[in-house]
Amino acid sequence: MNANTPRQDSDSDSGSDFDSAEWEQDAQLLSRTARDLPSGRHQFHKERLMAHIHEQAQQDERTAAQAAPDRAAPAKARRFRLPRPAVTLPAMAFALSAVVVGGVVTLNGGDGARNSALATGPALTTDIGTATSKGVPQLLDQISLAAAEGDHPTVKPGQYVYIESMTADTFVKIVDDKASLASHELHRRQVWNSPDGTKGWLIDPAVNEGPEGETLSLPDENGNPLEGGLNHPTYDYLAKLTTDPDKLLDLIYKETKGQGNSPDQQAFATIGDLLGESYPPAELYSALFRTAAKIPGVVVVDDAVDAAGRHGVAVARVDATSGEREEWIFDKKTHVFLGERSVQVKQLKDEEGALVKPGTVNFTSAVMNRAVVDGMKQTPSHASQAG
């Protein structure tokens, strides 16, 4: 994605001046945090995160002013899944501190009002399936062939890509300086995006303040519509990409240089992002799997379960730094993409990382519907199914 500023609502204090040193320090903190994130943090557009942080910072300031000098109750933790930005994030007042613990992001501060209703469960866990490098090319070739044969309508101007998924995640919650693991319960997530990426809508109770959702139609830092890219994968952008696996992989390495914990892991994660919440044209969709077969370290996990409880076979890769394994889950018979999850497979040695035990499911999702619809917030009951 391109760097951009938070949403500038008419009633927001977006014109306030901040100390330049604080801008630089906070921007560096957030940039390092996002850059070091492991795979699987693919779900949220960066512009929404920026808007949330900006809004939360203002709310925290107001809350602190009202509560001082006596605080009625300790603040609950707030948490956002961070994307892997393509460029350094813009400098801004960053009133929340961010930590990466294994594959889990912790943000301290705020009142927890937005997503506390869903943050009710214990850490998500699973059995760690056995991984092997045998049969990877053959499986990905079968998946590629299945992808090429699927129904894949073209998205026309004025239409929207609709993706409905079930999702849940584990996060570190810090209250009174004490850290523990918690989870957002399984819930439905709905996203609409125009083919050029200039218009969009998100309904996700773990993120939104209200049930109606919120816009993803935000400009860049210069007030211009966001341009498509690997970290902002609009349909129009994806339609122009090469379908040659070697050239596509070279492009991914080039465009994601410096991101993630390693070039190979970042390349794998970038392709995973395109599978989970974008709509690649048919030829590119098939080519993505042939491209993934060329990334070193890719393995097969014979049994993996998506967020909807569907068992399948997974194409996966372990991030050696975070100890997290990103898994793309496919139906064992049809090889249709079901969803993805991020599983902790390596114990980290730092104090907080010790909370995230092997077998912790840091993130899980299941794609329930992917369709082309004719209007924003329209569901696909009478729309063309996109497969």
The pLDDT value given to residue 165: 97
pLDDT at 142 over 60: yes
* Mean pLDDT of the residues in the chain: 75
Give percent of the chain with pLDDT exceeding 70.
Answer: 66
Instruction: Name the DSSP letter for residue 171.
Output: E
The pLDDT value given to residue 382: 53
pLDDT at 76 over 50: no
The three-state (H, E, C) secondary structure of 31-56, written as one string: HHHHHHCCCCCCCCCHHHHHHHHHHH
The pLDDT value given to residue 115: 54
Q: What is the mean pLDDT of residues 59-73?
A: 47
pLDDT at 282 over 90: yes
Two structure tokens written together for 386: 């996109």
Q: Which of 125-129, 160-164, 295-299, 349-353 comes out lowest in average pLDDT? A: 349-353
The pLDDT value given to residue 72: 38
Instruction: Name the DSSP letter for residue 343.
Output: E
**pTM summary value:** 0.73
How many angstroms separate the CA atoms of 19 and 2, rounded? 24
pLDDT at 119 over 70: no
Nearest to 84 by CA among 247, 285, 215, 255: 255
The pLDDT value given to residue 353: 64
pLDDT in tens, 234-269: 999 999 999 999 999 999 999 999 999 999 999 999
Residues 280, 50 contacting (CB under 8 angstroms): no
pLDDT at 82 over 60: no
The pLDDT value given to residue 351: 58
Q: What is the mean pLDDT of residues 208-227?
A: 80
Measured on CA atoms in the order 63, 64, 67, 73, is the torsion positive or negative?
Answer: positive
pLDDT at 18 over 80: no
Q: What angle do CA 111, 115, 119 make, to 5 degrees?
A: 105
Helix axes 245-255, 282-292, angle to 10 degrees: 80
Q: Which of 62-76, 147-161, 168-182, 189-203 comes out lowest in average pLDDT? A: 62-76
Element (DSSP H or E) covering residue 202: strand 200-203
pLDDT at 328 over 80: yes
In sequence order, the 6+-apart residues with CB closer than 8 A to the CB of 69 are: none
Q: Which of 61-75, 111-125, 184-198, 341-355 comes out lowest in average pLDDT? A: 61-75
Greater pLDDT, 294 or 95: 294
Greater pLDDT, 274 or 10: 274
Q: Which of 24-33, 249-258, 294-303, 356-365 comes out lowest in average pLDDT? A: 24-33
Confidence of residue 78 (pLDDT cuts 50, 70, 90): very low
Q: What is the mean pLDDT of residues 36-49?
A: 39
Q: Which of 47-51, 124-128, 188-192, 355-359 comes out lowest in average pLDDT? A: 47-51
What residue segments make up the domains of the chain, in order of their start? 20-108, 131-385
pLDDT at 21 over 70: no
pLDDT at 354 over 80: no
pLDDT at 174 over 70: yes
How many angstroms separate the CA atoms of 153 and 386, rounded? 6
